[in-house]
Amino acid sequence: MSLDTVKPSPGFLEHLPIEYKDLIEHGPYGEQKKVTDMGKFKELVEEHPMCAGCAMGLFIRLVFIGLPKPEHTVMVGTAGCGRLAISQGNIPFVYGNYGDTNAVATGIKRGLELRFPEQDKDVVVMCGDGGLVDIGFQGLMHSWFRHEKFTTIMLDNETYGNTGGQESGMTQKGQIMKMSPRGKKDDKMDMMGLAEVANLDYVARITPTNPSRVVRTVRRAVMVAREFGATFIQAYTSCNIEYSIPTPDVMQDAFDMEKKNYGFEEKISDRAKAFLDEIEKKDKKKKKK
Amino acid sequence: MSNLNAQEEGKSADWVPAGDMQEEISLEEMLKLPRETIFMTGSEAARESIRRANVDMAIAYPITPQSETMQQAGYLYDEGYIKDYYRAEEEIGAFSAISGASRAGVRSLTATSGPGLMRGMEAISSWPGARTPIVMLDMCRVINTPLAIQPDNIEISFLLDTGMLVLHGENQQDFYDFPLAAFMVSEEVDVTLPCTVAVDGFFVTHARGNVSIVDRKYKLPARDGWKSAVPAMDNENPPARLSRDAPIQKSNFISYHMHSSWQQEVFSAVERSAKYFDKYLGGLIEVVNPGADEMIIASGAAVSQAREAVRQEGEKGNKVGLIKVKTIRPWPRQQIIDAAKHAKTILVPEFNHAGWLHKEVCTTLYGHSEATIYNGPRVFGGMTMPTEMILDWLAEIRNKTGSKNLFV
């Protein structure tokens, strides 16, 4: 049914731009696409106004590919660089007030569950480190402790990129930024640890170095959230402007960070693991067929 | 958790939510039904209203004097009259989440008091622009230092220009009737706006009064999330492009025009709500002793004190008029002009220091009335207004013995 909402009346189809026709005919609706298929299907977000070489732009593209059911997904974001790209995606997007993402997502998820008990409707919060761990911290924590059934994806560029490079809770200790002129005094906030304390069923830390892994991680997080409750992905998506990373070196920086302090990590509860094993087995069977 | 997961919360497999056994009828029909009169608190009156309002989701956060009502809503959830309910982390969380619920297309309820309203103000002020029908009960309370829990309705002044619909109830009966109207009007397609039902804390919420209510076997029709100026964000219909297009978020001529036209539409929708409130509340204002030279214009609990002053003056053979303003937004401009045009003296008794109602009345009547509009009487900080205070003002005005402040 939802795919129908993007389909124009037959008489209008010929007047629409090629990009829109491609979206309908070759979009990712109804079947999970793979990274290896990129270029062969119409992605939900392609053009965006992110800075040249921005790792966040790449990561967001991959997230959209990883969504298991984009035609039934609502995204929630807040102020920050990420929303510039997310809002260009062909998925309903709430650009809310500062730091309100996880509360808004709570209401949307519960409301959709009431209206469509038989239809999985996924809600995904995707926004920056400042939006989640500083201004949105309280809402984030409480959505975790309430085990709300949606995924939170943190686009961690370790700064407030959109407002011009101020220190955030996720900035590394000692880093000189705007508003930390003598270097950040405190440690980077341990959100992976807090997620563990909140007893989340699926938590992952990742960089965009391995696109297939990003897509798989997003799919897992959304599927587990649908079934059990809150899930979390902490993704390193560098700010090449504020950290002065030359554009050609952005991916090398991601590899370096991965080695240094941002290694891939997944923490999956036993019940979530059993659940994922089951659905991934089914996926493999499908592929063989 | 919701009634969808009732068994996980301890309900038996054969449990039937009480709301499922109610019969849906329109508010027009409900208003015609016979009523039973019960002596109850304002919080209980609100509970009985919510019971009949077919609420899908209620989000609570405690603050005095509101807590009583939303814990009553919790009991309604337990009985199955409300489908989903939880205690939020605080007001920004509660009001953000309820906006999410409304965006998802379900009937949404929350409530607060004074400082809680202030805390959640950023979320509240974004509701009208997001075109989210929500009912927020507001049990007014002192907001500024020194901290107090007592009634004072200064907080209503902060809501006047948000684009919200604002009702101000006089008593327990209004706290039963107004929320039902609020749900229906806020969800009208040509309105699609949030609505506050404010009452003065404690005087209404914790005191008892006679409340006439219909049988609990009836409830309002369910919300249709697609029957809306901005349909529900549910992936079952094309999403509104609000805040999706990049130009709206940037400073350029397109964004200026987008924002200005959007705001104009919100405030036009406020005006369009008037015809529905007129129908459901029996008028936006109530007039006692029309045509009197001396008129009192009041809203909220001050109306009750004014009624008593009118009665006592009547016993003395003096005809004093009263205009009860039920809807603060939409503001019944023309109705007030018409009802006050014969007046020579107008008093505006209020339960706040700022005199926000007085300012509204002055703005409305400027150029339309020869009356002297007196700046009071007012009490604040939680005081009640003795009827004698209104009577004293009337006497001083008649005898021209009033203090300097009286004639400001």
CA B309-B282-B284 angle, to 5 degrees, is 70
Residue B307: inside a domain, yes or no? yes
Q: Which residue has the higher pLDDT, B98 or B237?
A: B98
Q: Is B20 on the interface with A (CB under 8 A)?
A: no
From chain B residues 64-93, the ones with a CB under 8 A of any chain A CB are: 83-84, 86, 88-90, 92-93
Among chain A residues, CA nearest to B98: A107
B137 and B18 housed in the same domain: yes
Q: Which of B219, B235, B269 is the last residue of a domain?
A: B219
Range of the domain at B314: 285-407
- Kindly report, residue by residue over B313-369, the tens digit of the pLDDT: 999 999 999 999 999 999 999 999 999 999 999 999 999 999 999 999 999 999 999
Nearest to B105 among A94, A95, A115 (CB): A115
- The residue among A103, A90, A7 whose CA lies nearest residue A48 is A90
Q: Does B57 sit within 8 Å of A111, measured CB to CB?
A: yes
- Indicate yes or no: CB of A99 within 8 angstroms of CB of B235: no
pLDDT digits (tens, 9 = 90+) for B276-287: 999 999 999 999
A-chain CB neighbours of B245 within 8 Å are 87
Say whether both B165 and B88 belong to one domain: yes
User: Residue B218: is it exposed, middle or buried by C-beta count within 10 angstroms (0-12/13-18/19+)?
Assistant: middle
pLDDT tier at B43 (50, 70, 90 boundaries)? very high
B100 touches chain A (CB under 8 A): yes
Q: Is the pLDDT of residue B404 over 70?
A: no
Tens digit of each residue's pLDDT, chain A (289 residues)? 466 777 788 888 888 888 888 888 899 988 889 999 999 999 998 788 899 999 999 999 999 999 999 999 999 999 899 988 998 888 889 988 999 999 999 999 999 999 999 999 999 999 999 999 999 999 999 999 999 999 999 999 999 998 999 999 999 999 999 999 999 999 999 999 999 999 999 999 999 999 999 999 999 999 999 999 999 999 999 999 999 999 999 999 999 999 999 999 999 999 999 999 999 998 888 777 6
B-interface mutation test, from A76, A90, A112, most B Cβ less than 10 A away: A112
* Min Cα–Cα distance to chain B from A74, Å: 8
B27 and B126 together in one domain: yes
B255 within domain boundaries:
no
Who among B90, B239, B243 is closest to A138 (CB)? B90
Q: For testing the chain A interface, which of B96, B110, B131, B249 should be mutated: the one with the most A CBs within 10 Å?
A: B96
pLDDT(B246) > 60: no
B56 has a chain A CB within 8 A of its CB: yes
Please judge whether A113 and B2 are an interchain contact, meaning their C-beta atoms are less than 8 angstroms apart. yes
Q: How many contacts, defined by CB atoms under 8 Å, are there between A and B?
A: 139
Report if residue B229 sits inside a domain: no
Domain co-membership, B207 together with B334: no
**Residues B303 and B205 grouped into a single domain:** no
pLDDT bin (cut points 50, 70, 90) of residue B251 is low
Query: Cβ of A20 under 8 Å from any chain B Cβ?
Result: no
ipTM of the complex: 0.94
Q: Is residue B73 part of a domain?
A: yes
B194–chain A Cβ distance below 8 A for any pair:
no
pLDDT digits (tens, 9 = 90+) for B110-161: 999 999 999 999 999 999 999 999 999 999 999 988 888 999 999 999 999 9
Among residues B219, B247, B274, which one ends one of the domains? Answer: B219
CATH number for the domain that contains residue B292? 3.40.50.920
What average pLDDT does the structure give for chain B?
93
Phi and psi for B306 in degrees, rounded to 5? -65, -40
Contact B96 A97 (CB under 8 A): yes
Q: Report the distance separating Cα B48 and Cα B215, nearest Å.
A: 10
In a domain, B262, yes or no: no
In a domain, B268, yes or no: no
Residue B405 confidence class, pLDDT cut points 50, 70, 90: low
Residue B193 shares a structural domain with residue B298: no
Q: Which residues pair with B163 in a beta bridge?
A: none
Tell whether B250 is covered by a domain: no
Does B237 contact A5 at a Cβ distance shorter than 8 Å?
yes
Domains and CATH numbers, chain A: 34-288 (3.40.50.970)
Do A203 and A232 form a contact (C-beta atoms < 8 A)?
yes
Whether residue B354 lies inside any domain: the answer is yes
Kindly state whether residues B212 and B339 are assigned to the same domain.
no
State whether A96 and B96 contact (CB < 8 Å).
yes
Query: Closest chain B residue to A105 measured between Cα atoms?
Result: B100
Residues B8 and B116 in one domain: yes
Q: How many domains does chain B have?
A: 2
Q: State which residue of chain B sits closest to A78, comparing Cα positions.
A: B243
B206 and B299 inside one domain: no
B138 and B37 in a common domain: yes
Residue B241, pLDDT above cutoff 60:
no
Q: Is B94 on the interface with A (CB under 8 A)?
A: yes
* pLDDT, position A1: 42
Q: What string of DSSP letters covers A72-100?
A: GEEEEE-SSSHHHHHTTSSS-EEE-STT-
**How close is the nearest chain B Cα to the Cα of A105, in Å?**
6
Nearest residue to B322 via CA among B306, B301, B333: B306
Is the pLDDT at B177 greater than 60? The verdict is: yes
Same domain membership, residue B118 and residue B7: yes
Q: What percent of chain B shows pLDDT beyond 70? A: 95
For residues B199 and B312, state if they share a domain: no
Amino acid present at B23? E
- Domain endpoint, select from B219, B238, B260: B219
Task: Provide the pLDDT for residue A19.
Answer: 84
